[in-house]
Structure 1
Amino acid sequence: MAPKSNKQSSGSRSSCASSMGGWLKIFAILLGVLTPVYYLLEQNLERFYIFKLDQLEDVAKRSIDLHGNDTRAIVQYIVEELSGQVSLSSYINRDEEWMFNNAGGAMGAMYIIHASITEYLIIFGTAVGTEGHTGRHTADDYFHILTGTQMAYVPGTYEPEVYPPGSVHHLRRGTVKQYKMAESCFALEYARGWIPPMLFFGFADGLSSTLDLPTLWRTTWVTGKLMVGNLARLKF
């Protein structure tokens, strides 16, 4: 009986090795196909962007000049201004739905104005203050302060970066900081680059600490709906 058992064990190992070899071949093929596709898309990311940096900075500053510390009026002005532009109107979500957002230990709320594969535009903020980790992302993030003040810290420095209303905090792709909004602070946040990988950071706290599944589900639904809707318009 022993020789038979050894033969079965050897056959099992051979089958397992063959299966593993098959998966490695598939992985190698996918890697070979997707790598040049990714490289091509990476070199042409600018072609997929519909928002302009100077445009967003301008509308943010004008909204502050017109409405001061009235955050609700500022948000409405920004959305109406962007919706009124022919090139953007079909890509703007005018359904102002606010959802809690927990990420990197910080907690606030957000209203998703636009979400696609290469861009997102949201209003993010809190009326009570928060502090946390920015995350290390696959996109450049531009934080246009509308009301309140944000502070940021980079290891090795001894003074904080301070961003008052009207300023822009640019978190470069691949970099990381500690940030703090000591009191009420709201911002127009714009990210451009590869957005899907950023979602893991956005969902991590909900899955590992808060376990706020209704909020997590709603965030997933709204984000997915907007991304798929924009893909249907050939907006990556």
Structure 2
Amino acid sequence: MVDSYKPRKGDKSTSSSQSETSALRRWGIRAIILALIVGLYQWANTINDRFYRLTPEELNETVQHSLRLASELNKNGDSGTNSTIIISTLIDQLVERHPEMSWSTDFKNKRDWVFNNAGGAMGSMYILHASITEYIIIFGSAVGTEGHSGRHTADDYFHILTGQQTAYEAGDLTREIYNPGDVHHMKRGVVKQYVAAPETWALEYARGWIPLMLPFGFADTLFSTLDLITLYHTVRITGKEMIKNLLIGKI
């Protein structure tokens, strides 16, 4: 009578088979998790518009009104710089038009300004409002910058306040030009190269799932500048604003 075969301890064929089965199981689990994440993201994109409080059209109307008011103040001999007058007037208008929202308004406090390195471009920003589905900031550069826009899961609207921004998509042979009062809409999923002239400042409004934009904003710091102090302050200010808004019911 022939004994049934029993693999000996350390049998290489059995060990290899078990290893292959384990690897297939791991990859199967990863594929399921990835499919769930993609499905969750697609579903989330069908509901995020119910959490928006702002619209690009209304913001541009506010920007236009603020530019006119700032121009009048300049004519009447206001001693501040043009950028300062415009930003101050704009913030006052936003607070007045949206008292239901939480705003940071002390833009003259340098401690709440932070540099941002992303896509090779460097600028500084002041966060006016940040929640899970919307953020609105003052962003720009006193010396100018250029870089990669990023391929985002949110729509990004640059309302130009001062200076000039130019951009183009791959394949375009002429540039897009945006001057004060213009809106540069960087659509979700679309990537551009952009340039900001010296002393270009914009009201930047993003709407979508904002946390998914953060890795792009942190990558240059982690792998290039290693400016961990700036990273700390960026996380501190952004986290503070998002948590504050969640506590008052703003997603």
Does 2:144 correspond to 1:137?
no
Matched residue SS, 1:155: coil
Structure 1 residues 104 and 25, CA gap change in structure 2 (3 angstroms): closer
Contact 2:159 2:181 in 1 (8 A): yes
1:164 Cα offset (Å): 0.7
1:182 is matched with 197
| Native 8 Å contact 1:50 1:88 kept in 2 | no
| Contact in 2 for aligned 1:110/1:125 (Cα 8 Å) | yes
Between the aligned partners of 2:161 and 2:144, the Cα distance in structure 1 is 14
* Superposition deviation, residue 151 in structure 1: 0.8
Aligned length: 232
**Once the two structures are superposed, what CA deviation does each residue of 1:213-236 show, in whole Å capped at 9, x if it has no partner?**
100111011111211222222322
Query: How do residues 57-206 of structure 1 correspond to structure 2 at under 5 angstroms?
Result: 57-68=60-71, 70-89=82-101, 91-96=102-107, 97-206=112-221
Residues 36-55 of structure 1 mapped to structure 2, 5 A cutoff: 37-55=40-58
Q: Deviations over 1:133-170 (max 9, x none)?
A: 11111111110000001111222222211111110011
For 1:210 and 1:166, locate their aligned partners in 2 and report how far apart those are by CA, in whole Å.
33
What SS does the corresponding residue of 1:124 show, helix, strand or coil? strand
So what's the TM-score if we normalise by structure 1?
Answer: 0.86
4+ residue runs over 6 A deviation: none
TM-score under structure 2 length normalisation: 0.82
Q: Radius of gyration: which is bigger? A: 2
Distance in 2 between the 1:5 and 1:216 partners? 51
Separation in 2, partners of 1:211, 1:231:
30
Identify unmatched segments of 5+ residues in structure 2: 1-6, 72-80
1:5 paired residue number: 10
- Counterparts in 2 of 1:139 and 1:227: CA distance versus 1, 3 Å: same
Q: Partner letter of residue 32 of structure 2?
A: A
Distance of aligned partners of 1:26 and 1:161 in 2 relative to their CA distance in 1, 3 Å threshold = closer
**What is aligned with 2:75?**
none
Pick closer, same or farther for the CA change 1:234–1:161 going to 2, 3 Å.
Answer: same
Instruction: Kindly state the Cα deviation for residue 70 of structure 1 after the two structures are TM-superposed.
Output: 1.1
Other structure's SS at 1:101 match: strand
Do the aligned partners of residues 185 and 86 (structure 1) sit closer, same or farther apart at CA in structure 2, a change above 3 Å counting? Answer: closer
> Is the CA contact (8 Å cut-off) linking 2:165 and 2:200 kept in structure 1?
yes
- Give the letter for the 1:165 counterpart: P
Q: Name the CA distance, whole Å, in 2 between partners of 1:88 and 1:183.
A: 35
Moved more, 212-221 or 40-49: 40-49
On the 8 A contact 1:82/1:88 being kept in 2, the answer is: no
Distance 1:134 1:39 in 2: 23
